Amino acid sequence: MNKFLISFNSKNLSSIKTDILIIGSGVAGLSSAIQAAKYGEVSIITKDKLSESNTQKAQGGIAVALAEQDSSEKHIEDTLRVGCGLCNEKTVKIMVEEGPARIKELIQWGAEFDRQGDRLSFTQEAGHSVRRVIHAKGDATGMELERALIAKVKQSANIKILEYAFVTDLLHKDGTCFGAVVNVKKDERTIVYARKVILATGGIGQVYRETTNSPVATGCGMALAYRAGAKLIDMEFMQFHPTTLYVAGLSRTLISEAVRGEGGILRNKHGERFMFKYHRDGELAPRDVTSRSILKEMRETADTRVYLDLTHLSSKLIKNRFPNIMEVCSSFGIDIKEDFIPVRPTAHYMIGGIKIDKNGKTNIQNLYACGETASSGVHGANRLASNSLLEGLVFGYRAGQSAGKDIDCGKRFDTTPDISNILDPVSARKLDIGDLKASLRSLMTRYVGIERDETGLLAVQKEINFWSSYVMGKEFSDIRDWEFQNMLLVAGLVQKASLIRKETRGVHYRKDYPKQDNTKWQKKHIELSDI
Ligand code: SIN
pLDDT tens for residues 355-394?
999 999 999 999 999 999 999 999 999 999 999 999 999 9
60 lines ligand 1 (CB under 6 A): yes
Q: For 231-260, how does the pLDDT look when each residue is reduced to its tens digit (9 = 90+)?
A: 999 999 999 999 999 998 887 889 999 999
Which atom of ligand 1 sits closest to the CA of residue 141?
2
Residues 103 and 46 in one domain: yes
Structural domain of 444 = 425-528
Asked if the structure places residue 8 within a domain, the reply is: no
Q: Is 287 a catalytic residue?
A: yes
256 lines ligand 1 (CB under 6 A): yes
Which residue, 444, 215, 247, 443, is CA-closest to 328?
247
Residues 228 and 250 in one domain: no
Q: Where residue 412 falls among pLDDT bands split at 50, 70, 90?
A: low
Which atom of ligand 1 sits closest to the CA of residue 63?
8
Question: What's the rounded mean pLDDT across residues 159-173?
Answer: 96
Q: For 440-485, how does the pLDDT look when each residue is reduced to its tens digit (9 = 90+)?
A: 999 999 999 999 999 999 999 999 999 999 999 888 888 999 999 9
User: Please, what is the average pLDDT of the chain?
Assistant: 95
527 pLDDT above the threshold of 60: yes
Which pLDDT value is given to residue 414? 63
Distance between Cα 96 and ligand 1 center (Å): 17
Asked if the structure places residue 214 within a domain, the reply is: yes
Asked if the structure places residue 228 within a domain, the reply is: yes
Distance between Cα 225 and ligand 1 center (Å): 27
As a whole number of angstroms, the distance between CA 165 and CA 251 comes to: 25
257 lines ligand 1 (CB under 6 A): yes
Residues 230 and 189 in one domain: yes
244 lines ligand 1 (CB under 6 A): no
> CA torsion sign, 32 to 33 to 39 to 42?
positive
Asked if the structure places residue 202 within a domain, the reply is: yes
411 pLDDT above the threshold of 60: no
429 pLDDT above the threshold of 70: no
Q: Which of these three, 346, 367, 394, is where a domain ends?
A: 346
**Atom 8 in ligand 1: residue holding the nearest Cα:** 386
Distance between Cα 58 and ligand 1 center (Å): 6
Long-range own/partner contacts, residues 245-248 (CB < 8 A, 24 or more apart): 245/328, 245/329, 245/341, 245/342, 245/343, 246/304, 246/305, 246/342, 246/343, 246/344, 247/332, 247/334, 247/342
Residues 480 and 372 in one domain: no
Helix or strand or coil: residue 487? helix
Q: What angle do CA 152, 196, 188 make, to 5 degrees?
A: 85
Residues 327 and 361 in one domain: no
Which of 238, 253, 257 best tests ligand 1's pocket when mutated (most atoms within 8 Å of CB)? Answer: 257
CATH code where residue 279 lies: 3.90.700.10
Distance between Cα 244 and ligand 1 center (Å): 11
Asked if the structure places residue 414 within a domain, the reply is: no
Q: What angle do CA 238, 240, 241 make, to 5 degrees?
A: 145
Query: Which of 147, 195, 252, 287 is labelled catalytic?
Result: 287
Calculate what percentage of the chain has a pLDDT beyond 70. 98
Q: For 113-150, how does the pLDDT look when each residue is reduced to its tens digit (9 = 90+)?
A: 999 999 999 999 999 999 999 999 999 999 999 999 99
Which atom of ligand 1 sits closest to the CA of residue 239?
7
| Residues 320, 247, 47, 223, Cα dihedral to 10° | 110
* Secondary structure (DSSP) of 402-466: HHHHTS-TTS--S-----EE-PPP-------HHHHHHHHHHHHHHHSSSSB-HHHHHHHHHHHHH
Residues 153 and 250 in one domain: no
396 lines ligand 1 (CB under 6 A): no
Distance between Cα 212 and ligand 1 center (Å): 10
Residues 71 and 103 in one domain: yes
388 lines ligand 1 (CB under 6 A): yes
As a whole number of angstroms, the distance between CA 98 and CA 93 comes to: 8
Residues 67 and 187 in one domain: yes
Which pLDDT value is given to residue 250? 81
139 lines ligand 1 (CB under 6 A): no
CA atoms within 13 A of residue 428's CA, in its CB half-sphere: 0
Residues 55 and 201 in one domain: yes
385 lines ligand 1 (CB under 6 A): yes
- DSSP letter at 26 equals S
The distance in angstroms from the start CA to the end CA of the chain is: 10
Which of 254, 328, 343, 372 best tests ligand 1's pocket when mutated (most atoms within 8 Å of CB)? Answer: 254
Q: Where residue 410 falls among pLDDT bands split at 50, 70, 90?
A: very low
Asked if the structure places residue 416 within a domain, the reply is: no
CATH code where residue 470 lies: 1.20.58.100
Higher-confidence residue: 477 or 221?
Answer: 221
Distance between Cα 197 and ligand 1 center (Å): 29
Which pLDDT value is given to residue 185? 75
Distance between Cα 413 and ligand 1 center (Å): 43
As a whole number of angstroms, the distance between CA 92 and CA 510 comes to: 26
Which pLDDT value is given to residue 284? 94
Asked if the structure places residue 10 within a domain, the reply is: no
Give the total number of structural domains in the chain. 3
Residues 185 and 250 in one domain: no
Q: For 59-116, how does the pLDDT look when each residue is reduced to its tens digit (9 = 90+)?
A: 889 999 999 999 999 999 999 999 999 999 999 999 999 999 999 999 999 999 999 9
CATH code where residue 184 lies: 3.50.50.60
State the DSSP H helix or E strand holding residue 239, giving kind and residue range, or none if neither: strand 238-245
Which atom of ligand 1 sits closest to the CA of residue 387?
8
Residues 383 and 431 in one domain: no
Question: What's the rounded mean pLDDT across residues 16-29?
Answer: 96
Residues 249 and 310 in one domain: yes
Asked if the structure places residue 76 within a domain, the reply is: yes
